[in-house]
Every structure is written in C-alpha cells, then in structure tokens.
Structure 1
C-alpha cells in the first residue's frame, strides 16, 4: 500500500517559560517554534485532536503553551505545508521535553467511511518527546516533529483502528530535505531515502501533483528509491548528498 507523506507542520509553536534561575538556564529571551511533518498511509483523512502542547525546560518546570486547540487533518499539511497552533516566548535556554495532549476526537477516513481512532495512553498522559535542545537568543528556534501516520494508524479489526503514534524529532536548522517529482503524474508511488552511514530509512509518498519531499534528514549521503505500484519497476538514485538547512532536488523521475 502507498504511504502518503503528511508534511504536517502541525505545531509551529513559540513557547514561554518563567523559569527559576539555575546553572542550565539564562535570562535571555528565546523565540521557539515546534513544527510537525509526516507520512500517512492509504487513508482519505487522519484527524488528530490536539488539545494542548506543553514543554519542560532545564529546571524541570512544565509550562502549558497558548494552544489553538482543535482537530487537524494531517493530510492537509503535505509536502512542507504547516500551520501555527501555539505561541509564546521562552526565558529558559533549553527545552528538554515536548508533550502533545490529544483529545478524544481522533478519526481515520477509509474509503469514505469514518472510524474512531482509540488513543488511551495519549489522552491520559500525552505524547512525550525528549529533545534536549539548546536555544539561541534573537532567532526563531525550531523543532520539527515527524509524525509517521502510516506506521501510527493500526487496524486492529474490521473497521477498528488504533492510533499508536510513531514520532521523531529533528532540529530543522541542522537537517536537510530531498525533493523531486515523478512522471507521469497520477502514478501512485512511495519514496524512501536510506542513509549510507547509518542505514536509517526515511519515507514519504508522491502527492496528486506528482511531487514528493522527505524532510528532516541529517546531513549525509543517501540512496533514494521511488517505488510505484506494480507492474512498474522501482527507480533507484544513489549518492544523493543532503546538506544542513538546504533542499536537494533530484529532478523528475520518469517511469
């Protein structure tokens, strides 16, 4: 089945702490943004009910952000699109943890039918992400949350689905992207990028216009495989170099 990348920058958050002074904090002011991106599966919609965003700083204090609570369809944020859901300003120079608190209104749409997504653990304690990010004053500090919807939505029975989030965090300023497109447009295909150093695999999918984007890649050299639905054969490109803060466009892949 195909994977659809939700490049969902769900949270572009700027956060605020009134932190107590200690060895790990400073008196500066730090703009902070949290963004989310992703890869979904064979779904028409993946709706996630974001109720709150919290952060924890170097002093251990938890701060609730100014959150625009609501239900967000991850598939609305494909190939680099994003939306701002919370803002504030930090006085702590380090973010150790981000927590996404979900409400009960999480659903998936398959073949026109809407099914609830059960998320018991997320509703009770939230989705905790350890990041340990040092902030720099007078710039927009950002973090990218990669929410892999294809791996996160699990069918547990006939018409029964569970949300078991698979997340990773990437500091946007020290990562890069791979972009490209395929022809003919309309071909269903998935895209993977494998690091030649760590053999870690990052995935995405081709959108309706034939474009794809794999975000949040550590700098390095990658092998990219574009895999269409059969009977077409995959196309492999090797030695694709990714640099921090830049996008590498591999052009049009013809089938």
Structure 2
C-alpha cells in the first residue's frame, strides 16, 4: 500500500469558501488563489474517540516556480479538523498571483496550541514531534490552467497518519500532509444505508489505497477527492468489523466526477 497516495484523500474542499467582496477581481494576467485546509478522517479506534482535533497553524508559505518564497496572511490560527471532512474545508488564505507563476511547494509551520477533545469531554494536548518544529514542506504536483480566473490549492491533513497514542491518554502530533489543486482533479461521492451505520470507505487502484469515513450526520455521505483519471474499486467496511461488505467500481475521467448509487449494507 502506497502511504503517500493515501494522502490523496480528501474529503472535499470549496463548500466553506465563497468569493466575497474582499476577493479582488482577476485580470487578464492574474488569478485568484485560495489556500484551503481539508481533513482525511481518523481510521484507528483511539482516533475515532476524538470529537475535536484542533491544530494551530502559525505560518503558511509558498514556493513559486520562480523560486521565490512568500508568506501569506492566515484567516485564523486554530482549526478544528473534525469539521473538515467529506466535502468541507476552511479558507486559510487567498492571494492574487500572476498567471506566469505557478505554486510548486507549500511550507506549513505549526504552533503549540494543538489539542483533542475525547468523547467523555476530556481535553488532551497533542504534542508536536520534535522534528516538526520547523514545519512541513509539501509539493504541489499539478498546475492550474491559465484559462482559470481562480483556483484552489488544497492542504490535505491526514489525521489517520498524524496522531499517535503514547499511552495514559497522552498523544503526539506528527502532521502528515499533501497538497493538490482541486480544479484539475476529481472526486467519487455517494451515500450509504443504513444512514447511521458508521462505515469506512476505501478507494483502491493498483497498489494504492485511499480512504474516508462516511458522515452519519448527513445521510452517511462520503466523498473522496483529489483523484486522477483511472479505474477505482470502492470498498465499504462498517467500523464494527474488519470485513469488506460491499464493493463498487468507478471510472474517473479527466474533468469529471463520479456519483455512485446508494450503497446498501446488510447487517
């Protein structure tokens, strides 16, 4: 299983972002660029016990194709990752960039105000691993077409690969991120019945696996984003078992998304 490809999941992107009155109008030579934060859901039992996962982002920089490094202004500092799943995201920053310049890398620096809230209400600190103090640098492999007046760069936070239990209700945070341009990738979405059956959804192509957890507060909706063209096997596994109960097939074509028929799981 290719762990880097797992980071492709995302659970969605533009639903919490709108182009308001503060968004400058792009010109013939510029594009508006939105930096969005989204979350890959937890997959391990101790991670599913969190009702909130708050991360403190204190700095965001991008490296452009001309090798320049630019720090951008953030909309906030602490973000709840549990609210950024299955089609949700939050705006971190927006800029206007020349169409002749592309974003090649993003550097994220985390502060010290990271914590999780357990189901019993206990608040526990998430201690940043020592090697992450200087930040995390991630590549942006896609390029936005110059025909777009704006585009969105997704910073995809993989909770399932980032939080580790060290025992006695203590946890460390080793942020695992990926970034991609939403406008040139696709997604697979759908709903699962029973609507309250908490279910893991896996998307498999070759040796690569992507996953999410369906949203039981929204008709068991799932959405896996950041997909490139190809044929995918979609597997469904209720969280109370280790057995795949249903399988579907989906073909993603460039510039199109896939909506699956309702997946009916027999209990």
Into which bin does the TM-score normalised by the smaller protein fall?
Answer: 0.7 to 0.9
Q: Go from structure 1 to structure 2 and tell me whether the alpha carbon gap of 1:69 and 1:228 turns closer, same or farther (over 3 Å shift).
A: same
Q: Counterpart of 1:24?
A: none
Q: Counterpart of 2:162?
A: 152
Q: Could you tell me whether the CA contact under 8 Å between 2:66 and 2:101 is conserved in 1? A: no
Q: Could you tell me whether the CA contact under 8 Å between 2:144 and 2:184 is conserved in 1? A: no
Q: Counterpart of 1:100?
A: 108
Q: Could you tell me whether the CA contact under 8 Å between 1:6 and 1:39 is conserved in 2? A: yes
Give the 5 Å matches for 1:141-220: 141-195=151-205, 198-208=206-216, 209=218, 210-220=220-230
Kindly indicate whether residue 254 of structure 2 is the aligned counterpart of residue 254 of structure 1: no
1:128 pairs with one of 130, 137, 146:
137
Q: What CA distance in whole angstroms lies between the structure 2 residues aligned with 1:219 and 1:166?
A: 24
Q: Which runs of 5+ in 2 are unaligned?
A: 1-8, 20-27, 43-47
Q: What CA distance in whole angstroms lies between the structure 1 residues aligned with 2:255 and 2:69?
A: 30
TM score, norm. by length of structure 1: 0.82
Q: Could you tell me whether the CA contact under 8 Å between 1:172 and 1:245 is conserved in 2? A: no
Residue aligned with 2:41, SS: coil
Per-residue deviation at 1:58? 2.4
The number of aligned residues is 237
Kindly indicate whether residue 14 of structure 2 is the aligned counterpart of residue 7 of structure 1: no
Q: What CA distance in whole angstroms lies between the structure 1 residues aligned with 2:264 and 2:195?
A: 10
Residue aligned with 2:90, SS: coil
Q: Could you tell me whether the CA contact under 8 Å between 2:64 and 2:104 is conserved in 1? A: yes
TM score, norm. by length of structure 2: 0.79
Q: Go from structure 1 to structure 2 and tell me whether the alpha carbon gap of 1:76 and 1:136 turns closer, same or farther (over 3 Å shift).
A: same
Q: What do you get for the CA RMSD once the two structures are aligned? A: 2.8
Q: Counterpart of 1:115?
A: 124
Q: What CA distance in whole angstroms lies between the structure 2 residues aligned with 1:223 and 1:217?
A: 13
